[in-house]
Chain A
Amino acid sequence: MTMNVLSLNPRKCDGCGECETACSKKHSGVSGKAFSRIRVVGGNGHGRLFVPFVCRQCDDPPCMSVCQNSAIYKDDKLNRVVIDPNKCIGCKMCFSTCPFGAIGFDSIRGFAYKCELCGGDPECVNACEKGAIDYIKGYDLNSIRMRESANKHYAVLRHQI
């Protein structure tokens, strides 16, 4: 199965935050990190490790299953999960459910927002000079191996907790 995916490489990320600024600027017009869909975590106490976090566009999105107003749907064409701001009632169910903390909440306008891959041309990819974020088109997704890898990742997480 081939699809377009946003690929993040923490090894190349130096935590400059350009992606956050670019994202916030594009989606809210605010040059800052307040409304960024992507978030870089790391530094302080984590050595030089920086990891950009953004919506994983889950196969079976928990945010979609908890939404009380069916405002979240899957866009199979771009392989993304989308929140309809006109239907969103601001109950924060998705915000609280997302296992990655990738959904943000705009308390001024009263709806949740998330990465929607900028409709196929992600701004963060253009902003990242280090090449830590890449939008791979026609990626051959080996979902069985990826699922195994994710399970291992999860086992590590459980071990850490």
Chain B
Amino acid sequence: MSYFKVNHNCNGCLACVQNCPANALSHRDEGSKRTLLHNISLCARCGNCWRVCPQKAVEFQGILNGQWDQVTTMELVHCMVCGEPLYTDGFKKALDGKLDYEPANLCPLHKKTFSLDAWRHLAFDEKAVERGAL
């Protein structure tokens, strides 16, 4: 999730920290370690750090061509018949909590198909036809 990256050429001179107009760069000296810090919400993406860096260590492309971050991952519930992803298990729990029955895990098409099967059952039941059920 790190947008601002420096390569192995960085020698910790802090020229980028001095020249950042948005104060998005900072550093921390702790014990025997110096850590370079960057705050993406302050960063104006101006590229001044990259321009000023004497070692050409700032890899600014990561900020411009940022990749997608994985925010969260959860279990999927699929249609029992065709396997189409329907919703997540958390969504399913929310649904169950609001209903007094548990809905079948079916996609809209296969919900209809189950009902269609019932109709077919009636259609081939001659007694039902006589009764005028269909």
Which of A's residues lie within 8 Å of B, judged by CB? 10-11, 39, 41-42, 46-47, 49, 51, 53, 62, 65-66, 92-93, 95-104, 153, 156-157, 160-161
Q: Given known contacts A65-B99, A98-B111, A101-B112, what 10 new A-B pairs fall within 8 Å (CB)? A: A39-B112, A41-B112, A47-B120, A66-B98, A66-B99, A96-B87, A99-B104, A99-B111, A104-B108, A160-B114
Report whether A65 and B116 are in contact in the complex, using a CB–CB cutoff of 8 Å. no
Q: Which residue of A lies closest to B133 (CB)?
A: A149
Bound: A93/B99 CA distance, A: 11
- Picked from B86, B95, B110, B116, the residue with its CB within 8 Å of the CB of A66 is B95
B108 touches which one: A46, A47, A62, A101 (CB < 8 A)?
A101
Whether A51 lies near B119 (C-beta < 8 A) is yes
**Given contacts A41-B109, A160-B121, is CB(A97)–CB(B99) below 8 Å?**
yes
Q: Tell me if A10 and B115 are in contact (CB < 8 A).
A: no
Give the Cβ gap from A57 to chain B, nearest Cβ, in Å. Answer: 16
The main secondary structure of chain A at its interface with chain B is mixed
Cβ contacts under 8 Å, B113 to chain A? 41
Look across to chain A and name the residue whose beta carbon is closest to the beta carbon of B80. A161
User: Which 8 residue pairs across A and B have the least CB separation, nearest first?
Assistant: A101-B108, A101-B111, A66-B98, A41-B112, A156-B118, A160-B117, A53-B112, A157-B118
Asked if B103 lies at the interface with its beta carbon under 8 angstroms from chain A, I say yes
B22 within 8 A of partner (CB): no
Q: Which residue from A53, A97, A100, A103 sits with its C-beta under 8 Å from B95?
A: A97
Residues in B neighbouring A42, C-beta threshold 8 A: 116
Chain A min CB distance to B89 (Å): 12
Whole-angstrom CA separation of A2 from B48 in the bound complex: 75
**A–B pairs, 21, beta carbons within 8 Å:** A10-B134, A46-B120, A51-B115, A53-B112, A92-B87, A95-B108, A96-B91, A98-B108, A98-B111, A99-B111, A101-B106, A101-B107, A102-B108, A104-B108, A153-B118, A156-B118, A156-B121, A157-B115, A157-B117, A160-B121, A161-B114
